[in-house]
Copies of this chain bind each other. A is one copy, B any other.
Amino acid sequence: MSKEETFQDLSLNSPSGQQDLWRWLYTELRAAILDRRLKPGARMPSTRSLSAQYSLSRGTVVAAFEQLQAEGYTRTEVGSGTYVASGIPEGFLSATRKPATPVGTASKAAISKHAQQFLKDVEVMPAPHSVGKAFRSYEPAIDLFPVDLWARVASRVLRRAPRSLYGHGDAAGYQPLRRAIAEYVGASPGVRCSAEQIIITSGTQQALDLISRLLVTMGDHVWMEDPGYLRALQALRNTGARIVPVPVDEDGLIVKAGRKLAPKAKLAYVTPANQFPMGVTMSADRRLELLRWAASANAWIIEDEYDAEYRYAGRPVAALQTLDSSGCVIYVGTFTKMLFNALRLGFMVLPERLVDAFRSARSIIDLHPPTLDQAILAEFITEGHFGHHLRRMRQIYAERIDVLKTAADEHLNGLLDVVHTGAGIRTLGWLKTWKSDRDATQKVRKLGLEVSPLSMFTVKYEQPPALMLGFAGCNPAELRRGVSILATALRAR
């Protein structure tokens, strides 16, 4: 204590030794702000005093300060110093998040047998409190989202909306938003549809859940890409579908294999623009083959284009939906990856014959989506901000994958072969010295990085060991720091 008393006593915990020092300092200072050891409006200790007090480099302290600033915990006055933000609403100050918990024994005994099956192996994603952590794979660049612009549009919409918009809304979604989406998907992924075919969802997950509940009966076979998107598998399993893992090659899902395994499957789940997690684009031949099969088997296809907007190299292939002459493709999109996760708005483009059933189902399941959020988003799109933001992000993410690839080639040579992906917000790194990607993941996570093992997404068809790395949500400095920590972790066996 005596050492600390020379300076301001913030009672920071000591670094654990396994953590990046800047991250340790950032976490401790944030905790001090949240606990009000550092009060709103108070001056932050100087970088000089902190670096002396805790024997840190100035660069480390500055990195921690930058992160606090980026997240709005502090503000800097030119020529005066850094202060704890005084405007953080009370709620945020005491926000603590519960870590992920598996479904406990008490719950297991209480819930129905059917639900126990449906909750098998569920991993609830923890709600992280920081942004920009390397290599988080499920968030876009939250820190670059134009928050002030969004707040301005929101404030205008909330004030000027007719009062009726505060009342009961449409189960299919707010009509002007549906129209804006029909226009957008028509222009960009080239999906042909009317606004009437669009059902607003609370994101991809709800779309998959609705599809599962309406189109799949217990015992139906469902083709699932293997490796594939785990949460889609969970949603489709809800209604008791028998999941049929279908292997994937460099042209995407191998339709022949699916036909052999389950020719009469009811549904196929695919990510043709940017296969999750392999990152391949489904070839035109495969697309036609898949559509031919679906038409002959009277099956449905879910085309999940969760990140189709981000393409940095190569030519986009026409969406399955545009080639679909028999009305069996359901195109699923989401704004959570294009704007920000917390928004919880996505959409489905349905074949016409499904529209009224989905509208009714949504009405029983949760009445209708939040109208004002939809109205804000509709304005954000029609005023051109959405298109502008996408163009900007496309450029930034293209730079970020370059940064990651360059840093990886320099520092991870012989350890991890990072794929220079031409699309999306995440990529794979092939492990060169580790046999088990789960072991490698454990090691890397201990040093504070967010990575996932490729094997987490395989059901039946094993892949060589690899790590999934998100790059879109991390700035160049974080990516380089991440690569250097990866090098340390993967070298030490």
Contact = CB atoms under 8 A, between A and B. Distances in A.
Interface string A207-224: 001000111111010000
A111 B355 CA distance: 11
A354 interface: yes
Interface stretch (A13-21, A335-343, A387-395): A335-343
B342 A165 contact: yes
A127 B175 CA distance: 10
A155 B157 CA distance: 11
A200 to B, nearest CB: 12
A385 B113 CA distance: 43
Contacts of A378: 91
B166 A142 contact: yes
| Number of copies of chain A assembled together | 2
A170 interface: yes
B162 A151 contact: no
A396 interface: no
Interface string A29-50: 0000000000000000000000
B169 A127 contact: yes
Given A89-B157, A205-B365, A217-B112, A97 B166 contact: no
A356 interface: yes
Nearest to A342: B371
Interface string A153-170: 011111111111111111
B341 A167 contact: yes
A366 interface: yes
A73 B353 CA distance: 36
Contact of A356 (B107, B214, B340): B107
Contact of A171 (B118, B125, B169): B125
Interface string A342-361: 11110000011111110111
A220 B371 CA distance: 35
Contacts of A373: 370, 373
Interface in A162-188: 162-172, 174-177, 179-180
B142 A167 contact: yes
Interface residues of A, number: 125
Contacts of A138: 168
A430 interface: no
Contacts of A365: 205-206, 209, 235
The 6 A-B pairs at the shortest CB distance, nearest first, are namely: A91-B176, A342-B371, A107-B357, A106-B353, A151-B158, A127-B170
Interface of A: 70-73, 85, 87-92, 94-98, 101-104, 106-115, 118-119, 122, 124-125, 127-131, 138-139, 142-143, 145, 147-148, 150-152, 154-172, 174-177, 179-180, 196, 201-203, 205-206, 209, 213-218, 220, 231, 234-235, 238-239, 340-345, 351-357, 359-361, 363-373, 375, 378-379, 382
23 contacts: A89-B379, A90-B382, A91-B176, A91-B382, A94-B179, A107-B353, A110-B357, A114-B217, A114-B239, A119-B357, A119-B364, A129-B164, A131-B163, A139-B168, A143-B163, A147-B163, A148-B159, A166-B340, A166-B341, A167-B342, A168-B342, A202-B366, A203-B366
